[in-house]
C-alpha cells in the first residue's frame, strides 16, 4: 500500500489515501479501508465494500467509521452465543498518537530556539511518525474486517452488515450495547481463563496439546512483543540521532558538505529500516499476541461448557436420586452435551486453521521483513560508498 | 664568547590584579650568535625576508638584551658579567629555564617542576621568538617527510589502594635525526603527560603557538580504577584514557616546533622522568594556576583592544561559532553512542525472547525459523555494539578533542591581546617618563634628570620590544591558525572516512546475515 499524506493548513489534519493491493480471498465480499482522516487525534476510517451478495442493498458503498464502532462490532460478536465455538478476530487496538503528539509538543515549544533547518527536520520527523502510526492503525482495522468477511459465519452476521452498510452514525447503537453488556463478560474472560483452562481435566488429546501450547506460547509471544517494541524504539532513536547529527554537520563542515548531506539520507534509510522492522516483525507479534488470546478465549468457553456439562450430569444424578424433575435435568444435560460437542467440533477446526494461518502470516512477514532489511542495507552501502568516494577524491 | 645572562623581569603594572612575578630565564647573547652561528639558523625575527635582515636583527637583539639586563629588581640575581664563559652557569642555580636551540645542541631542560605560575608578561626572549628556522617555507617539506609513529599501550596498574596509578607504555618509532634512537620505549603515567603539557603551555602559548591540550582528569574514573574494580566501566575508562593519551602525543609531535622541544624529546626518550607534582589540582602550583585563570578572565574583560587587523576579528568570530557548533555536534554524537548501546542491549534481549518463542512454537519449520531469527538478532546485537565503539572512539572523541583544541586556540588569541596590552602599557609609561623628564628640566636636579633620561631610553626600548612582540605573536598566530585549519580539515576527513567505512562494514555484515536467513524463512511450509 502506498500512503500519500495530504497535509492541510491546519497541520493536525491528515488524510491518507491508500492504493490497495491486497488479500481479500473471496470476491463476493471485498472490504478495504482506502482512506483515513485524522482530526484532533480522532481517526475516521472510510470503510469501502464491494459485494455480490444479495443481502446487501448496493453492490458498492463506503461509510465513515470511528475506532469505537469497530469495538462495538467486536463486542457484539463476542457476546453472540452462536459464535462461542469460533476464534473471534481480536479487536484492533486504539490508535495511539502519543508519540507524534509528544514530538509535536516539543516542536512547538522549541520553535523559537531552533534554526530553520532544525525546525524543518523535526517537522519531517513528526510527519514520518504520524505516517507510521497511521499505516499501522489502518492496517490493523482493515485486517479485523477482512478476517470477519472471510469467515463463513461472521460474514453473514447481521451486525457486521449494519457496520458495513448503515450510512448513519452508529453511536446510538454503541451506547445501547454498552448498557446491555457493560463489558462485564469480557473482563471475566480475561481474568478467569488461565485458571479454568489449566484446571480442566482433558480427555481429548488434541485439546490437551492445544491447551499446553497456547498457555505457554501466549506468555512467550507477549514477552517477544515487548522486547521487539523496545528494540524498534531504540532503532528509531538511533535514526533520530543521525537526523540531528546531519543537521549539525551541515553547519560545521562547509568544506565537506556533500558527504555530510549524505548523512541526511542515511538517516532516512535507518528510519525506514526501523519502521519496516516494526511493521513486519513487531506488528506481527503484537497481532498474534492478541490472536492467541482469542484462541485461549475459545478454549475458555469450551472449558466452561465442559464444566456446565459436568454440573448438569451431577444435577441429573441428584434428580434421579430424588426422583424429581428428571426429565428437565435430562433435557438440560442433553443440551449441555450438545453445546460442548458443538464447541469441541468447531473449536478443533478453528484451532487447526488458526495454526495454518499463523504459520502463513509468520512466513510472509518474516520473508518480507528480511527482503526489506536487505534492500535498505544495500541502499545504505551504496550511499555510504558514494560519500567515501567523494571524500577521498577531494 | 658565550654569555649567559640571567635576569629577572618584574612587571609593575598599574593594574593591581597583575601579580608581581619573577621569572628567570636564560637568553643567549646574540653577539656570540651573530659571530659564530650560521645566520640561517638564527632566522632573527621571523618576519625577515632576506639575509640582510637577519644580520640587522642580530645587531638589534644584543641591545635589547642588554637593555633588559638593566631592568632588574634588586631582589633578583643580577647579570653574571663576571663569568660569561662558564657554561655551567646555566645549571648553577635551580632556575626555571627555557630550552634553547643552542649551537652545541645542549638541550637545556626545565629541571624540577615546570613553572607553575604562568607569567603574565613576556620577558624579552628574542631568541626564543626567533627559533624554529624551519617554519614557514620549509614547513611543508618537513611535513612531507614527517616520519614518526607513537603508540600508547599496555596500561598497567602500579601500587594499591588510593596511591595506585596506571602506567602506560609509550613507544616511539622514527627516522628523524633529533631522536637518539630509531625505536624507544618508555613508561609514563598520566601526571607525566599533564606535566609535559604544562611545560609546553608555559613555554609556547604566549608566543601564539597552539599547544594541544592534554586529556582531562577524571577523579571518578580514576578512583574506580584505584579501588580495583575490574568491571566493564573501569576497563572502558582506561581504554578511553589510553586512546586519548595517544592522540595527545601524536598531535603534539605534529607541531613542528613542539616536535623539537627538549621536554618533548625527554618525555619520549628518557627512561626516568622527574615526577610532575605541580600538576595535582590541590598542590600549591595547582592553586596558583586557578588564581591565574581567574586573573586572566578578569583581564580579558578589562582589556579593550583596538583591533586594526580585520583578519583577527574575523577569525575570532569564526572560532566562536565553530566552538558552539562543535559542542552541539558532540552532544548529538554522545546521544547516538548511548542509543546505539541501548539498541544493542535490546536486540540481545529480543534475540533471547525469540529463541524462547521458537522453542514454544509447535510447528516444526516455523520453530526452526524462529530459532534462526534469534541467532541472526544475536549477531546483529554484536554488530551494534561494535558500531557503537566506532561511533565513540572515532567521532565522539575526535569532537571532544577539537572542542578542547578550540579552547587552546581562543587562549592564543587572548595571549595576543595581552601582548597588545603590554605594548600599550609601555607606551603609557614612556609618555609618563617623558612628562616626568620635562618637569625635571625646570628643576635643577641633574642626577635625577640623568635617571629620568635613562628611564626614557629604557621605556623606549620596551615600547619597541612590545611592538615587536605583538607583531611576532600576530604573525605566529596567523601561521598557527592556518596550520590548525588545514589539520582540522584533514583530521575530520580522515576520521569521517574511517567512520563511514565502519558503517559500510556493518551494513555489509547485515546483508550477509539477512541473506543467510532468507532461505530459512522461505522454508517455512
pLDDT digits (tens, 9 = 90+) for B244-293: 999 999 999 989 888 889 899 889 888 887 776 666 666 676 677 777 77
- Name which of A115, A118, A238 to mutate to probe chain B: the one with the most chain B Cβ atoms within 10 A of its Cβ: A238
Q: Over the range B224-260, which residues count as b (16 or more CB within 10 Å of their CB) and which as e?
A: bbbeeeeeeebeebbebbbebbbbbbebbbbbbbbbb
Extract the C-alpha cell encoding B54.
637577519
* Set of chain B residues whose Cβ sits within 8 Å of the Cβ of A115: none
* Inter-residue contact B189 to B165 (CB < 8 Å): yes
What is the mean predicted confidence (pLDDT) over B104-128? 36
By the 8 A CB rule, do A298 and A352 touch? Answer: no
Of A14, A74, A20, the closest CA to residue A48 belongs to A20
User: What is the rounded average pLDDT for all residues in chain B?
Assistant: 73
Query: What is Dmax (Cα atoms) for chain B?
Result: 119
Rounded to a whole number, what is the distance in Å from the CA of B334 to chain A's nearest CA? Answer: 9
pLDDT digits (tens, 9 = 90+) for B30-41: 333 333 434 333
- In this predicted structure, what is the pLDDT of residue A354? 92
- Nearest by CB to A366, from B497, B507, B521: name it: B521
Residue of A nearest to B354 (CA): A224
pLDDT in tens, B434-472: 888 888 887 777 777 888 888 889 889 999 999 999 999
Residues of B in contact with A367 (CB under 8 A): 518, 521-522
State whether residue A380 sits within 8 Å of chain B by CB: yes
The partner residue sitting opposite A381, judged by closest CB among B322, B350, B504, is: B504
Identify all chain A residues contacting B363, using CB atoms and an 8 Å cutoff: 355, 358-359
- Among candidates A238, A359, A373 on the partner chain, residue whose Cβ is nearest the Cβ of B339: A238
What DSSP character marks residue A31? E
Nearest to B343 among A213, A238, A373 (CB): A238
pLDDT bin (cut points 50, 70, 90) of residue B181 is confident
* A230, A355, A374: residue with CB nearest B346: A230
Is A378 touching B (CB cutoff 8 A)? Answer: yes
Q: In which residue are the cell numbers 483452562 written?
A: A197
Residue B110 confidence (pLDDT):
36
Q: Smallest Cα–Cα separation from A271: which of A387, A114, A380, A123?
A: A380
Distances A213 to A47, A207, A293, A329, B117 between C-alpha atoms, Å: 36, 10, 12, 36, 77
Sequence-distant (≥ 6) Cβ neighbours of residue B502 within 8 angstroms: B387, B390, B394
Helix A326-393 vs helix B446-522: angle between axes, to the nearest 10 degrees?
130
For B491-518, write each residue's pLDDT tens digit: 888 888 888 898 899 999 999 999 999 9
- Using the Cβ of A331 and the Cβ atoms of chain B, whether some distance falls under 8 Å is answered with no
Residues 252-271 of B with CB under 8 A from A: none
Interface of B with A in 296-325 (CB under 8 A): 322, 325
Backbone angles phi, psi at B87, to 5 degrees: -65, -20
Task: Tell me what pLDDT residue A264 has.
Answer: 66
Q: Which residues of A touch B516 (CB under 8 A)?
A: none
Chain A residues lying within 8 Å of B405, measured CB to CB: none
CA distance B468 to A268: 56
Rounded Cα gap, residues A351 and A353, in angstroms: 5
In the predicted model, residues of chain A with pLDDT beneath 50 are 1-23
A364 interface with B at CB cutoff 8 Å = no
Look at residue B5 in the predicted model and tell me its pLDDT.
34
Given an 8 Å threshold on Cβ–Cβ distance, is A231 in contact with B347? yes
Contact residues, chain B, for A228 at CB < 8 Å: 350, 353
Global pTM? 0.72
Short-list A143, A290, A144, A138, CA closest to A225: A290
* Contact yes or no for A231 and B350 at CB 8 A: yes
Q: CB of A73 within 8 A of CB of A188?
A: no
Interatomic CA distance for residues A93 and A70, integer angstroms: 10
CA distances from A244 to A108, A117, A120, A125, B439 (A): 17, 10, 11, 11, 69
Question: Of A362, A212, A294, A216, which Cα lies nearest the Cα of B357?
Answer: A216
Collapsed DSSP state (helix, strand, coil) of residue B190: helix
B333, B493, B518 member nearest A370 (Cβ): B518
- A 192-231 → B contacts, CB under 8 A: 209, 213, 216-217, 220-221, 223-224, 226-228, 230-231
Contact B96, B114 (CB under 8 A): yes
CB < 8 Å to A384, chain B: 500-501, 503-504, 507
Q: By percentage, how much of chain B surpasses pLDDT 90?
A: 25
Answer for the pair B229, B171: CB distance below 8 angstroms, yes or no. Answer: no
Greatest CA separation for chain A? 103
The predicted structure's pLDDT at residue B229: 64
Hey, is the C-beta of A385 within 8 angstroms of any chain B C-beta?
Answer: yes
CA angle B189, B195, B198 (to 5 degrees): 150
Alpha carbon of B373 to those of A362, B289, B357: distances in Å?
12, 59, 11
**How many residue contacts between A and B have a Cβ separation below 8 Å?**
152
d(CA B390, CA A341) in angstroms, rounded, equals: 63
**A389/B contact by beta carbon, under 8 A:** no
A210, A225, A231: best to mutate for the B interface, most B CBs within 10 A: A231
User: Within an 8 Å CB–CB cutoff, is residue A257 touching chain B?
Assistant: no
pLDDT at B74: 38
Contact B343 A235 (CB under 8 A): yes
**Quick one: closest CA in A to B513, which residue?**
A374
Cα B243 to Cα B246: distance, rounded to the nearest angstrom: 5
For B38, list phi and psi in degrees, rounded to 5: -65, 120
Binding-face residues of A in 42-101 toward B, CB within 8 A: none
Rounded Cα gap, residues B442 and B452, in angstroms: 13
Q: What is the pLDDT of residue A191?
A: 56
Q: Give the Cβ contact number of residue A78 at 10 Å.
A: 18
CA distance B231 to B61: 60
| Distance from the A309 Cα atom to the nearest Cα atom in chain B, whole angstroms | 30
B496 and chain A in contact, CB less than 8 A = yes
Mean pLDDT value across residues B201-219 = 88
Which three three-digit cell numbers place residue B475? Answer: 604573525
Chain B residue with Cα closest to A256: B493
Backbone dihedral angles phi then psi of residue B445, each to the nearest 5 degrees:
-130, 85
Chain B residues whose CB is inside 8 A of the A372 CB are: none
Amino acid at each position: 500500500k502506498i500512503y500519500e499524506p495530504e497535509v492541510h493548513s491546519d497541520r493536525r489534519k491528515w488524510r491518507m489515501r491508500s492504493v490497495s493491493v491486497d488479500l481479500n480471498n473471496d470476491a463476493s465480499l471485498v472490504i478495504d479501508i482506502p482512506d483515513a482522516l485524522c482530526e484532533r487525534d480522532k481517526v475516521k476510517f472510510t470503510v469501502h465494500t464491494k459485494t455480490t451478495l444479495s443481502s446487501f442493498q448496493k453492490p458498492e458503498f463506503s461509510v465513515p467509521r470511528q475506532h469505537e464502532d469497530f469495538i462495538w462490532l467486536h463486542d457484539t460478536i463476542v457476546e453472540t452465543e452462536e459464535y462461542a465455538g469460533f476464534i473471534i478476530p481480536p479487536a484492533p487496538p486504539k490508535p495511539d498518537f502519543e508519540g507524534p503528539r509528544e514530538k509535536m509538543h516539543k516542536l512547538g515549544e522549541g520553535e523559537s530556539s531552533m534554526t530553520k533547518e532544525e525546525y524543518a527536520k523535526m517537522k519531517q520527523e513528526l510527519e514520518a511518525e504520524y505516517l507510521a502510526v497511521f499505516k499501522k492503525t489502518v492496517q490493523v482495522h482493515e485486517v479485523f474486517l477482512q478476517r470477519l468477511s472471510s469467515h463463513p459465519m461472521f460474514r453473514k452476521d447481521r451486525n457486521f452488515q449494519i457496520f458495513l452498510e448503515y450510512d448513519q452514525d452508529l453511536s446510538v447503537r454503541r451506547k445501547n450495547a454498552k448498557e446491555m453488556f457493560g463489558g462485564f463478560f469480557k473482563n471475566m474472560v480475561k481474568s478467569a481463563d488461565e485458571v479454568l483452562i489449566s484446571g480442566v481435566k482433558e480427555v481429548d488429546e488434541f485439546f490437551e496439546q492445544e491447551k499446553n501450547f497456547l498457555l505457554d506460547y501466549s506468555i512467550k509471544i507477549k514477552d517477544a512483543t515487548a522486547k521487539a517494541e523496545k528494540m524498534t524504539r531504540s532503532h528509531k532513536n538511533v535514526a533520530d540521532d543521525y537526523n540531528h547529527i546531519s543537521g549539525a554537520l551541515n553547519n560545521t563542515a562547509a568544506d565537506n558538505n556533500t558527504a555530510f548531506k549524505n548523512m541526511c539520507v542515511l538517516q532516512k534509510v535507518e528510519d525506514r529500516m526501523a519502521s519496516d522492522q516494526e511493521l513486519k516483525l513487531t506488528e506481527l507479534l503484537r497481532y498474534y499476541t492478541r490472536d492467541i488470546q482469542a484462541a485461549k478465549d475459545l478454549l475458555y468457553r469450551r472449558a466452561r461448557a465442559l464444566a456446565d456439562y459436568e454440573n448438569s450430569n451431577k444435577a441429573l444424578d441428584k434428580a434421579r436420586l430424588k426422583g424429581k424433575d428428571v426429565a428437565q435435568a435430562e433435557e438440560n444435560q442433553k443440551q449441555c452435551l450438545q453445546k460442548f460437542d458443538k464447541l469441541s467440533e468447531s473449536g478443533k477446526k478453528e484451532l487447526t486453521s488458526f495454526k495454518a494461518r499463523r504459520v502463513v502470516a509468520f512466513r510472509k512477514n518474516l520473508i518480507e521483513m528480511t527482503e526489506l532489511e536487505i534492500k535498505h542495507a544495500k541502499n545504505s552501502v551504496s550511499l555510504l560508498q558514494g560519500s567515501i568516494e567523494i571524500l577521498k577524491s577531494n | 664568547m658565550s654569555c649567559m645572562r640571567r635576569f629577572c623581569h618584574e612587571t609593575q603594572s598599574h593594574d593591581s590584579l597583575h601579580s608581581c612575578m619573577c621569572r628567570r630565564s636564560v637568553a643567549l647573547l646574540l653577539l656570540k650568535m651573530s659571530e659564530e652561528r650560521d645566520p640561517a639558523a638564527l632566522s632573527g625575527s621571523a618576519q625577515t625576508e632576506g639575509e640582510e635582515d637577519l644580520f640587522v636583527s642580530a645587531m638589534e637583539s644584543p641591545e635589547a638584551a642588554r637593555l633588559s639586563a638593566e631592568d632588574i629588581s634588586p631582589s633578583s640575581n643580577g647579570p653574571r658579567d663576571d663569568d660569561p664563559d662558564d657554561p655551567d652557569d646555566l645549571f648553577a642555580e635551580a632556575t626555571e629555564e627555557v630550552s634553547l636551540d643552542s649551537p652545541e645542541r645542549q638541550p637545556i631542560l626545565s629541571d624540577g617542576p615546570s613553572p607553575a605560575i604562568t607569567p603574565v608578561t613576556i620577558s624579552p626572549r628574542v631568541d626564543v621568538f626567533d627559533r624554529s628556522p624551519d617554519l614557514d617555507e620549509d614547513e611543508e617539506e618537513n611535513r612531507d617527510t614527517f616520519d614518526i609513529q607513537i603508540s600508547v599501550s599496555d596500561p598497567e596498574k602500579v601500587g594499591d589502594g588510593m596511591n595506585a596509578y596506571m602506567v602506560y607504555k609509550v613507544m616511539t618509532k622514527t627516522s628523524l635525526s633529533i631522536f637518539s634512537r630509531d625505536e624507544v620505549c618508555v613508561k609514563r603515567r598520566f601526571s607525566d603527560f599533564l606535566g609535559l603539557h604544562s611545560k609546553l603551555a608555559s613555554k609556547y602559548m604566549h608566543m601564539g603557538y597552539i599547544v594541544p591540550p592534554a586529556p582531562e582528569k577524571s577523579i571518578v574514573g580514576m578512583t574506580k580504577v584505584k579501588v580495583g574494580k575490574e568491571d566493564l566501566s573501569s576497563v572502558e575508562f582506561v581504554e578511553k584514557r589510553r586512546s586519548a593519551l595517544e592522540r595527545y602525543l601524536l598531535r603534539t609531535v605534529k607541531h613542528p616546533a613542539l616536535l623539537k622541544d627538549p621536554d618533548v624529546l625527554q618525555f619520549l626518550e628518557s627512561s626516568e622522568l622527574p615526577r610532575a607534582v605541580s600538576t595535582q589540582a590541590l598542590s600549591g602550583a595547582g592553586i596558583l594556576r586557578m588564581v591565574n585563570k581567574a586573573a586572566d578572565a578578569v583581564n580579558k574583560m578589562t582589556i579593550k583592544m583596538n583591533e586594526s587587523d580585520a583578519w583577527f576579528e574575523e577569525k575570532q568570530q569564526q572560532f566562536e561559532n565553530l566552538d558552539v557548533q562543535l559542542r552541539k555536534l558532540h552532544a548529538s554524537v554522545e546521544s547516538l553512542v548511548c542509543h546505539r548501546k541501548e539498541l544493542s542491549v535490546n536486540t540481545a534481549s529480543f534475540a533471547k525472547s525469540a529463541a524462547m518463542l521458537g522453542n514454544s512454537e509447535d510447528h516444526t519449520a516455523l520453530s526452526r525459523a524462529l530459532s534462526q531469527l534469534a541467532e541472526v538478532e544475536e549477531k546483529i546485537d554484536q554488530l551494534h555494539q561494535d558500531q557503537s565503539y566506532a561511533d565513540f572512539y572515532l567521532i565522539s572523541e575526535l569532537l571532544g578533542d577539537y572542542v578542547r583544541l578550540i579552547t587552546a586556540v581562543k587562549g592564543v588569541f587572548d595571549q595576543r591581546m595581552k601582548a597588545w596590552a603590554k605594548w600599550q602599557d609601555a607606551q603609557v609609561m614612556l609618555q609618563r617618563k617623558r612628562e616626568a623628564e620635562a618637569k625635571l628640566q625646570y628643576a635643577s636636579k641633574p642626577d635625577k634628570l640623568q635617571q629620568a633620561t635613562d628611564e626614557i631610553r629604557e621605556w623606549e626600548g620596551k615600547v619597541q620590544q612590545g611592538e615587536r612582540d605583538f607583531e611576532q605573536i600576530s604573525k605566529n598566530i596567523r601561521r598557527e591558525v592556518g596550520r590548525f585549519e588545514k589539520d582540522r580539515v584533514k583530521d575530520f576527513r580522515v576520521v569521517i572516512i574511517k567512520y563511514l567505512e565502519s558503517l559500510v562494514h556493518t551494513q555489509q555484515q547485515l546483508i550477509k546475515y539477512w541473506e543467510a536467513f532468507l532461505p530459512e524463512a522461505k522454508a517455512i511450509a
